[in-house]
Chain A
């Protein structure tokens, strides 16, 4: 396997305020994130040589192809491509930009993720029959929702590890309470309120055993990154962030249709993590990864991701959660900006929003939620459902 370790650097990033942005179209969000990113990088739009956009539900917001990005930002006649890997679309856009720069095809590239979810007229994600699943899939698969799919992982996890519904829900409640604590300190976050473990456990059920506070915010937002050749990064700024590893792993059906899969973990997360650690030269992720933004679309997803990324031993994440390992002042802080849970989850933007936090943390710019002296940050972006998903794991450092 090849590697892009230390070949690419991020020199500028932007991220909008996430939330129910009744004031903004997808195009407004794109301009907002883009403006911050080029100002942060100290470049002009004409410097950008290639661009990638990431959005999942294109039919309910920006429309398909690379054209909406080029047209909105007035990036004339450069190669612009739309990419989509469900909720991992933002990371996919960043991958396009990083690989292009690493290959030498261009020197400066833009990755932008955007999603305008709050115009569909109902809570939760847009109905999958609007286009996210193939037609045949809608006829053979259950009439399901995203929380229901991840709830089935909690059902299995509780069953396999002998957790009573109360003990299981309490473990998950602590995951969400921690993210609410961090999100409350983050001005751009969607949900900025501390919530107690008791309140979380008593909240109405969305999909058993997951309650309201086990689910992330459904938000509008955009985030963007400017990527350059590593050897030119310091000509733009003194503190660029270098890409140490960028890996994607995708399900091929065995988890869904073959009976080996246990549904208490996400296999592609484990595989992408393994590949990323090999690329970055990480031997002991529990010790070497300073902090991470993982895809906590639901509390159970974050819990099993800790095990898949080898931050916690298999079946033991509850002990680490109880010990506060992943809290802001713990040994390995997770979701320092509140995560999908509280910062919000505008699908296509989330992968880049995660990177925005790791970038700012590595530059020491996170104020009250600054992690002390971070070395390596990790982002984990999950598109799809536990038995059928696309996972990206990206590791960055100074």
Chain B
């Protein structure tokens, strides 16, 4: 049997009330009005960093050496060339003899990645595959996408042992239906006419995939505990449920008004939410949308109960939020408008790729060293032990700091250094179990820190080398969030 063995989700800290966007840009096209709020990534987040956050949560308590592959689905890949799944695998400090792939081009690529992982395990070419999906889409100012798009990520580990939800079957449809597209030279998506998308695509492809699944496996509507599919239009979303013969209670809450349309991550986030609420034996169906639809059927097992407390899940992340009350900040964080950084802010070191490669586990994986003689964990990696009473040479083993919590030893809020969300906050973290170093601190409001505050680590963009087109990733500290 093959199925889901773990799950994780990630929703960024910031939310923006759509009224804030509408107040700023609604004058351009009053019809763009949407209710509710949506999640927006911080200035240092993108699809890769959010996928790593979801992946870290998914792998909590799991031996990372068992993972044979990473599949990543997104339509907002930070790199067109440089494999994004490879960055995620390095950040999670996985083995190097694994298969990695980016799944892109449509918002159903996350479910397709799940299906491909299932196929590989079923065929026997891998035992455990991590599937991540994340999107961080931006809409042109004044566009409906600017109102609807939200940022988020989800991750699943698929395998054959300790299954929490078994894979029961799937049905896919694929169409070159241009509801939303981005050409290679474009930054923003373009949409077809919404009436056409609703009538010819959205309300047809999802029912076609789900009905196909039900007929293929003789799955009765009343046997389904929950079905989750993206909500692009609230009225049609409810209509699809009715057409499929489902009661409102069987439809997974779509979160369009609390989280937004998270693109490729959307159906996977719905699956996490469904699992959080599921009981053993529950049948869960999720369907994606975008150039067709994949419908996937899972059945929860007894092992689901035990894992729930160890996962942050969607609900806790949704509850943990800070409102972004300023539209200008939102478009600055997403690099939609160009702000004055000053000469100091423009001065960034060039990323030396050979150095980054040599130190990839330290820089991208936050792997330090632990002295085998005295047991002192240390970061950055040292050849000579930093413990003044030890100083053993070349007697170290790898030690991963990325999943360690700690406490804030000291900090400052710096107004001199440029930051897209000033002040620039940084401080020193004393890790539980030993080790100390200083880090940038993110996802933290001014005036909210104090000495001794519990901290955790988070993978972020450290700086952008615009001249050479490089996002330099690294780990930052943040107050423990959920």
> What is the interface of chain A, defined by CB distance below 8 A to chain B?
120-124, 127, 129-130, 135-136, 138-145, 147-149, 151-153, 155-156, 159, 204-208, 210, 253-254, 256-260, 263, 387
Contacts and interface: CB of A to CB of B under 8 A. Distances in A.
A247 to B, nearest CB: 20
A149 B414 CA distance: 9
Given A136-B355, A140-B380, A207 B362 contact: no
Interface string B381-423: 0100011100000000000000000000111111111010001
Contact of A142 (B379, B382, B439): B439
A121 B440 CA distance: 25
Interface of B: 342-344, 347-349, 352, 355-356, 359, 362-363, 376, 378-380, 382, 386-388, 409-417, 419, 423-424, 426-428, 430, 434-441, 451, 462-463, 472, 474
A256 B437 contact: yes
Contacts of A135: 349, 352, 355
9 contacts: A123-B416, A135-B349, A139-B462, A141-B438, A142-B427, A147-B416, A256-B437, A257-B435, A387-B438
Given A143-B462, A207-B413, A138 B349 contact: yes
Contacts, number: 136
A5 B472 CA distance: 51
B376 A258 contact: yes
Contacts of B387: 254, 258
Given A122-B344, A144-B417, A156-B451, A257 B352 contact: no
A263 B437 CA distance: 12
B437 A147 contact: no
A253 B362 contact: no
Given A254-B386, A254-B388, A129 B414 contact: no
Nearest to A142: B426
A208 B362 contact: no
Contacts of A263: 409-410, 428
Given A254-B386, A258-B387, A152 B380 contact: no
Contacts of B424: 142-145, 148
A256 B349 contact: no
Nearest to B349: A129
B233 to A, nearest CB: 43
A136 B409 CA distance: 23
Given A206-B415, A207-B412, A258-B376, A140 B474 contact: yes
Contact of B451 (A151, A153, A155, A253): A155
B382 A253 contact: yes
B347 A127 contact: yes
B348 A129 contact: yes
The majority secondary structure among interface residues of chain A is: mixed
Contacts of B413: 205, 207-208
A207 B380 CA distance: 25
B430 to A, nearest CB: 5
A307 to B, nearest CB: 17
Contact of B415 (A141, A152, A205): A205
Contact of A139 (B356, B388, B410): B356
Nearest to B388: A254
B389 to A, nearest CB: 10
Contacts of B355: 135-136, 139
Nearest to A130: B347
Given A136-B355, A142-B440, A156 B410 contact: yes
A151 B413 CA distance: 9
A122 B363 contact: no
Q: Name the 7 nearest CB pairs between A and B, nearest first.
A: A142-B426, A129-B349, A148-B414, A151-B412, A207-B414, A208-B413, A152-B410
Contact of B378 (A129, A147, A204, A257): A257
Nearest to B451: A159
Contacts of B430: 259
B45 to A, nearest CB: 16
A257 B427 CA distance: 13
Nearest to A260: B388
A338 B71 CA distance: 62
Nearest to B474: A139
Contact of B363 (A123, A139, A152, A259): A139
Contact of B417 (A138, A143, A205, A257): A143
B438 A142 contact: yes
B347 A129 contact: yes
Contact of B386 (A123, A159, A205, A257): A257
A155 B412 contact: yes
Nearest to B440: A142
A386 B273 CA distance: 47
Contacts of A259: 430, 434-436
Contacts of A123: 344, 416
A258 B412 contact: no
Contacts of B388: 254, 258, 260
